[in-house]
Amino acid sequence: MIWLGLSIATSSLLYVIFKYFAVFNVNRLHAIVFNYLVAFITGIIAYRGDFLFDEILNAGWLPFSISLGILFITIFNVMALTSQKSGLSVAAVASKMSLVIPVIAGIWLYEESLGWIKAIGIIVALISVVLSSLKKRENTKLNKSLLILPLLLFAGSGAIDTIIKYAETTYVSDGKEPLFSAVCFLSAFIIGIGILIFEASKGRYIKSKSVIAGVVLGIPNYFSIFFIIMALKTAMASSVVWPINHVGTVLLTSVLGIVLFRERMSLRNYIGVGLAIAAIVVIAFAKA
């Protein structure tokens, strides 16, 4: 359970850091690209073995690392577009509701049990995500012509979680988790270089504060992935891990928003937070 708690803590910290990006007027795209390099370096430092290119090239998990790297940076941009076009709430709900994809995959691929207690907990978790994420004075109506964006965000976020679980179960041996995570971020950074070149061609050059922001973001970003991989390696079923991870992140992020940024929450949001707590307790109980 400690790995899952650490994953929730680091994932929530990412949202706090993003909030400060706006405060310090950081170019989020530039910081995101640089954060992948920092996350890669963090993974290499955390890896206790030798960094051998031949070993990586012959690793069974390499195609999954590359796929995840592509998805990391692609889905981030889809999330940004969804937020701009349809609102932050739509993006948040689409992203967090994607937990149903790895849950279904866990039940189908790994024959994990789905008792009525766990099923109720997952349903409550989904309701809590919606209620916690919807904010006042924000566009939450979907433009039918832009419906593809939240659908892509939903599918992409779910695919990331599912691929992580499959690679961890099938190919990533004990002790290789830092290396696997590092190569995921390296793949994302290589793609990000193309984005930085395009940005430079438009006269938007990377600034020192974006580099600093990338360092601040990159370290917890690496550990958010590393900790969830370690949580998936425990005896806890993935159909338990993912709902608790997603709902726990929504819950802790809401609390941090109130404490650090004095964000105001509506009655609907508070109900969502209460349901989030109930969902975590029910799903954790169902594990037993």
Q: Tens of pLDDT along 6-56?
A: 999 999 999 889 888 888 989 888 999 999 999 999 999 999 888 778 889
Residue 166's Cα: distance from chain center in Å?
Answer: 16
Cβ atoms within 10 A of the Cβ of 100, count? 17
Q: Which residue has the tokens 């041996």?
A: 173
Structure tokens at 148: 């593809």
Residue type, 65: S
Nearest to 249 by CA among 112, 129, 111, 82: 129
Give every residue of the chain whose pLDDT is below 70, as ranges.
84, 87-89, 135-146, 287-288
Mean pLDDT across the chain, nearest whole number?
88
- Cβ atoms of 44 and 185 within 8 Å: the answer is no
Residue type, 268: R
Per-residue model confidence (pLDDT) at position 275: 92
Per-residue model confidence (pLDDT) at position 10: 95
Per-residue model confidence (pLDDT) at position 28: 86
Per-residue model confidence (pLDDT) at position 137: 58
Structure tokens at 211: 């580099």
Per-residue model confidence (pLDDT) at position 146: 67
Residue 20's Cα: distance from chain center in Å?
Answer: 18
Q: Which residue has the tokens 């051998």?
A: 52
